[in-house]
Amino acid sequence: MRKLILFSAILWSFNSFAQEKQVELNCYNKWAAKFEDRGAESVTDGIYDDVIITNRQGSKATCLNGKAEVRNGQVVKFYVLLSDGSHEEVKRTWKNNSDKNVTIINGISKSMVSVHGELINVLWPSRIKAKKAKPTAAADPTDD
C-alpha cells in the first residue's frame, strides 16, 4: 500500500510540474503583437471607417469595428460600428484628460483611461506593413 501511495505522489508531482499554465492572448494582445512584428505606415489626417476600437479591463479585452477621425496626427473622435450599420460615438468620463492629445504610434493610438479603469485604444489594421519575405534555403550540393 505504501508503494502505491508513494508511486501516486511521484506521478502527481511530475504532472503538476509538466503542466505550465499558458497565457491566453486577448484580441488586443494579438493585434499589438502583429503591429510590433510588422510595423505600420503612419496614419494621416482623415476619417477612417476601418479601425478597431479595443476596450481592456484587467485581462479581458473586447475588439470592435469602428470609425475614427484623425486631425493634426491625433485621434479627435472615434465610433463603434453597430449591427445596423450605424455608428455610435464612444463617450466616457476620462481620467486626467487622457482623451486629449491622443497620438498614434506604429498604427495604435495612445491608451485612453476611463474613470472606471477601462483602457481604450484605436488600431489601424489597414496601415500594417506587408508581411516580410522570408529567405529561401539553398540547395544541397550534388555529385556533378
Q: Cell 481592456 maps to which residue?
A: 56
Q: CA angle 55-61-62, nearest 5°? A: 65
Q: Cell 496626427 maps to which residue?
A: 73
* Predicted structure pTM score: 0.76
Residues 55-83 have a mean pLDDT of 96
Is the pLDDT confidence value at 23 over 90? no
Q: List, for residues 85-120, the tens digit of each pLDDT value.
A: 999 999 999 999 999 999 999 999 999 999 999 999
Beta bridge partners of 60: 57
Q: Which residues are within 8 A (CB) of 59 and not within 5 positions of it... i.e. 6 or more apart?
A: 26
